[in-house]
Every structure is written in C-alpha cells, then in structure tokens.
Structure 1
Amino acid sequence: MSLSIDPARRVHVRAPGKLNLFFDVGAVGDDGYHEVASVYQAVSLFEDLWASHDEGFHLTVTGDVDVSGVPLDERNLALRAARAVTESVGWEGGIRLQIHKGVPVAGGMGGGSADAAAALVAVNELIDAGLSTAELHALGARLGADVPFALLGGTAVGTGRGDELAPALGRGRFAWVLVTDGDGLSTPEVYGTLDRLRETADIRPGRLMPEVDPAVLRALRSGDAAALAAAIRNDLQLAAVHLRPALADVLDAGLAAGALGGLVSGSGPTVAFLAADDAHADGIAAHLAEQGHTSHAVTGPVAGTRIL
C-alpha cells in the first residue's frame, strides 16, 4: 500500500470500559483457555486515543487513573493493534499513539481492550486502510477476547472465549456505582486461582457448556434494575476475593449502603453495584467515599468505539 501521509493529520477515537453483568466460566480446556458465557455492558468510563503519523511506532500514556503499570512496548495491546492494521494492508509507515485513560488499569473493566479497539479504528481511519467493521472485529478477536465488545459497545452476550458476540435487547439505562482499587489483579492469575479452587471444592461448572441465565436477559429487556440485580453473577468473583479478601468487605459495604446488588467485574478488583437510578447511585457513591473507597457513579449502556 502506498504511503499517503499528512503529518498534521490526527485522529481522535473514544472507546468505553465494560462491566460483566454475568460471567459463567467453563472448565479449562487442553489449550489452557476457558469457554465462557458473558453479558457485557459498556459504561461511561472512557479511553481516549489519538493516532498520527510518525517515523516509527511510539506510544505515550496519561490518565485520570494510575497508569504506572501500563506497558509502553510491544506488550501493549494498542501498539499491537496499530501494527495489525498496517500489516494487514501492507502499509509501511509509522504510527504515534497517545492514550488518555479513564478506565482503571488491570481493574476487570477491559481498559486495555478498549485501547486496542480505539487503535484499530483510529489507524484504519488515519491511513485510509478501508478495513470493514467485520475485518476490524476479526483483528480485534486475535488481540484479545474483550476487544470485539469494545468495538461494539451497548449490551451484548459473549460466548466462546467471549469474543463471539450477539447484541442483547435492552430497555432504558442502568445506574452503577464502581469501587476501584489502585492495585490491579492479573486476569491469568484469577483464572488460574479459579481452576485450583475448583479442584479442591465442589464448585465445578454445573453444565458442559457455559450459558447465560435467561433471567438476566429478561431483566435487560424490561429495564428492571431490581430484577437485574437479583440475576447478576460472576464465577471469577470467588477467585478474585480469594486473592484479595478485602473485596468481600467492599461488597458488604455497598449492599449496606443500599445497592440493589453487587459483584466483582470481570477478573476484578473493580466492584460494581447496581442502583435504582442516578440519584440513588450518587448517594451510594457518596456513602462509600465517606468510608474511604474510590467510587464512581456511571451509566450504561453506552456506544462502542467511535471517531470524535
């Protein structure tokens, strides 16, 4: 692909973080991966990414959250996403990425995956690669299971490794309170801990293949926050609390503050509490902040990755 470079051109893309409203984890396979059935919801914490031309591939990261643990080399999903786009069309120029993070790092909210989704969209636009939405989703799935959902946004059911997506019908919006933790949890470590706990206790998967509880989908269709709160579940929560026992206290604190329900999001350590409405969420967040927790009132669903 011939180079068409406008050194002044800069593409700005925004991608959302996500919550796992439901996460059913199957047994570990021979390849070390787990089949899952998940319900994702994109929420109003965002990653902003700017892409521009450069002589090589470079990345800088700032944020409203602690970004000290974000790798700036080829371990970074956004850099890998940028390379994936250029290599797929044979474009030989360089790319500079600038990321401003609003999603907690290693918090179970898919911030790195959102960065990758933003980079796919931004670089595709910057170099006029012409990749379709389906092609971007295919590239994203090779980078990580959560990347396709960050592209899609809204609310969706994920199966397989979580990257086989089907939009979930829903009504209205939901108010959440997030309690974040400055010290992240490693997703592979959380999965590994769940596998070990399942070997020593009678908590093995109850079905051959994971599936989403129909009660979750009914609650989303009706927009009923109380019904959704009764149905949310995350198999990884047991392992996350085992690794970080203080999460149990956070869950108790949110419920004591009046939340309709709560769970660890993804691999943690972010804890999400469902509220009846925005005012209820603000009250819960204020109560938890008074107890010393870092809390955020957010809403979902929100749109997926988009150019601004």
Structure 2
Amino acid sequence: MASAIRAGGSVAVFSSEKSILRAPVTRRMGGARLNSSPDKFSFMRHGFQKVPMSRNSGESSFGASRRCSRLSVFCSSSESATNDDKVEVVYDPQGRYNELLSDLRSSGAMPQTNITLFSPSKINVFLRITGKRPDGYHDLASLFHVISLGDIIKFSISPSKTKDSLTTNVIGVPLDEKNLIIKALNLFREKTGSNTYFWIHLDKRVPTGAGLGGGSGNAATALWAANQLTGGLATEKDLQEWSGEIGSDIPFFFSTGAAYCTSRGEVVKNIPSPVPLSTPMVLMKPQEECGTADVYQALRLEDCSTSDPEKLLESIMQDGITQSACINDLEKPAFNVLPSLKQFKERIAAASRGRYQAVFMSGSGSTIVGVGDSQPPEFLYDEEQYSSVFISEAYFLTRRENEWYEQPHSEGLQT
C-alpha cells in the first residue's frame, strides 16, 4: 500500500510495499502517477502541514490532481529551494474496502451470502366465511393486518447442493419438508431453476397454533430471502403468486401490511392501514390449541354471520375498530372444538370493563386479541390456572414497497 511520495531535486519517489516508482521533477512542477494505489484518500500532507484533498476536486492547493479513474499526484518544488520537501498520501483503506464492498453488492456483482430478516405475524380484524368451494376449501373475506410480533430468521448460502439445513430455538418445530420454510425454499428452486441451498436458523417467538400466521410469515420471509441471496431471480408479484401454492395465508405477507383478502385468502388487495399504526393491542393465547382442520370441520355455514364483508371494511375504514365490526365466523366452531376458549374470551371481555375497543379471536384460534390497550386483565397474572398463557403487546405494522418488514425496536411484553 502507498506510504509516501518524496519530491526533492530531480525525482519524485513513490514507495509501496512492493515497488518504488520514480519520476522527474522540474523546478515548477514534478509528477508521479499512482497507478496501483487506492483512490480514496482522507488528506495529503505537504511538509508538516496537512492539506485536505477532495475526491470531487480536480486539484489540491499544491497541485494534487485526480486524473480519470486513477490518482495523479504532482509535487511542486517552487515553494522551497531545499531538497527536503515531502508530500505524504494518507488514506483510509478500511473505508475504501467498505465502500467497494457496498458498491459491488448494490450492483449485483457480489451478491450477499447471508441475511437476517424479521418474520412478522398477522391478525384477522374480521373474518367472514362466505361459502364452500368445489375443491373442499371455503371462500372467505377478511381484513388481514401485519402486527409487530414476529420471529427472527437468519439465512446463509450453504455449500450443499442437495439440501437445506434448518435449526431453531424451540422444541417440536419440524425441521424437514413439513416446515413451511423448507417448502418455500423448495418452491423457489422449482420456479427459478436455482440450485442454491441454505443454512437457516429460526428464532421462534410467535406461538404455534395461535391463528397468527407465524408459519405463513416464515414461508413468505424465506421466499424473500432466497430471492435476495440469489440476485433477484423473481419479482415480488412472482413470489406472491407462487406462495399461494403452499399456503392460502402466505400471499398476504407480500402486501404492504394491510389487505382485504378473498377467495381462499390468496387474492390480496392492498389497502391503506385503516387504523393508526400506534394503536395498542394485547395478544393472549392459552396453552390449549384448536387445529385449523378441526375448526373448519366443525363450521356450519348456516351459523355464519350475514354481514356484508365490504360493509365491515368500509365501517372500519371510516370509524376504526369496533366490537360490532370484528366478526369472526370461525369463533363458534373453534369454541365447539375447545369450549375453554369461549370461557377465556368471555372472561377477558368482562374483566376489561371497556378498556378494549374490541375483543375477538384471530384466524382459527386460539389467540384472543384485545385492541385499544396493551395490558392484559389482571386475572391472567393473579390466577395459577392462567400461568401458562402467552401474552404479548403488539401494534400494527406495514412495509415499504421493495423492502421487507423492519424489526420493531421494542418487542413488547412476552410471557
């Protein structure tokens, strides 16, 4: 690396670790071209005086010039009659390295090899079941919204060309093709022809069997990560469309965070967030779970609400979240599958004494959401039978187009 240029008498000498270059110097001006040195210098020193050097400036105060993409330094000998004039180039190699690395990555010439992403969950502010389909699924109409509770997932490119490797901090989470993360990565390779495999570590914070779409959020995040780490082989629209093949809720996460979803849930219409993002809420999930398949099996269409879902959406857009608008047609079958969940919700509603704007179940359960306050009722802390209840503060979250969801600065209360 460059150490110094010495201008004295008839030659200017540039010394580096590997070579010494000499160039003639006249009385008025001499020059030495630094063809092999970095072009990012913090300042130049003439004699004992530091002379700032601007990368955007053609010349320094004593004749330093940046020519084309190389740096040429010219040393004036007219300021002194002695042969002791010195010009020292002082630069920042680490800063230059970081800049070059950033330029390479942004240009795609050097793709990333690892990435850490926030994988959010969601709530259904309302969920209407509108009919049964010939394929056995149900048509729904629902206001989905991303919330601030989420997992953290680290992805790294693996040297393996045959399989992904998934680890997690939670016992019982499947680590093979049963996991939606692995399914998503397999889908990405199938659609793009990529042969890139990954090491993945899932820091699980969203409880399973909660109706919060934690697994669906993981799958969407995995698709986003794979696309980033392979140089952007697909568009966001591609990822959204493909994701519906492995899960009805997954396409929603490629919205901007708030969406009116229909059909099986895979038809996603972006909407502006209908409520302030700072609106507090508390999530309360008992240890008991009710399986999604069991809930849908217990569903009776004649027991569902007759409210027009578009009118519910309009009401929330105009008046905010209210108890009357937060209809979930899956509550009744979920309560039939898990009777204790009905008692749990009713007690939360009674104990809140108007503290919450609405109390409702998310998805197919078993999380009960209280919107309007971040604190749970005191009985959840006071009574032993509720000691295993998962509790978390949350708020609404959105994302910018072409950017993934940012990890909230505060994760809130989780017990």
Which residue in 1 is equivalent to 2:393? Answer: 297
Q: 2:360 aligns with which of 251, 263, 281?
A: 263
Q: How does 1:113-132 map to 2 (within 5 A)?
A: 113-132=216-235
Shift of 1:306: 3.5
Shift of 1:98: 1.3
Query: 1:37-57 deviations in whole A, cap 9, x for unaligned?
Result: 011111110122111122121
Q: 2:251 aligns with which of 133, 148, 153?
A: 148
What is the distance in 1 between the residues matched to 2:361 and 2:371?
Answer: 12
Which residue in 1 is equivalent to 2:126? Answer: 22
Aligned residues: 285
Shift of 1:204: 5.6
Shift of 1:171: 4.0
What is the distance in 2 between the residues matched to 1:130 and 1:161?
Answer: 27
1:203 to 2:303 alignment: yes
Letter in 2 for 1:73: D
Q: Percent identity?
A: 26
Are the equivalent residues in 1 in contact too, given 2:304–2:329 (CA < 8 A)?
no
Are the equivalent residues in 2 in contact too, given 1:108–1:267 (CA < 8 A)?
yes
Q: How does 1:12-161 map to 2 (within 5 A)?
A: 12-54=116-158, 55=160, 56-62=163-169, 67-161=170-264
What is the distance in 2 between the residues matched to 1:252 and 1:204?
Answer: 19
Which structure has the bigger radius of gyration? 2
What is the distance in 2 between the residues matched to 1:143 and 1:249?
Answer: 34
Letter in 2 for 1:281: S
Which residue in 2 is equivalent to 1:180? Answer: 285
What is the distance in 1 between the residues matched to 2:406 and 2:192?
Answer: 21
What is the distance in 2 between the residues matched to 1:91 and 1:34?
Answer: 34
Give the superposed CA RMSD.
Answer: 2.6
Which residue in 2 is equivalent to 1:252? Answer: 346
Q: 1:124 to 1:286 in 2, by over 3 A?
A: farther
Are the equivalent residues in 2 in contact too, given 1:27–1:205 (CA < 8 A)?
no
Shift of 1:117: 0.6
Are the equivalent residues in 1 in contact too, given 2:283–2:368 (CA < 8 A)?
yes
What is the distance in 1 between the residues matched to 2:207 and 2:256?
Answer: 18
Shift of 1:287: 4.8
Which residue in 1 is equivalent to 2:95? Answer: none
What is the distance in 2 between the residues matched to 1:240 and 1:251?
Answer: 12
Which residue in 1 is equivalent to 2:46? Answer: none
Of structures 1 and 2, the one scoring higher in RCO (CA 8 A, sep 6+) is 1
Larger helix share, 1 or 2:
1
Are the equivalent residues in 1 in contact too, given 2:168–2:201 (CA < 8 A)?
yes
Shift of 1:302: 3.7
For the residue of structure 1 that corresponds to 2:333, the secondary structure is: helix
Shift of 1:154: 2.2
Letter in 2 for 1:230: S
Which residue in 1 is equivalent to 2:328? Answer: 234
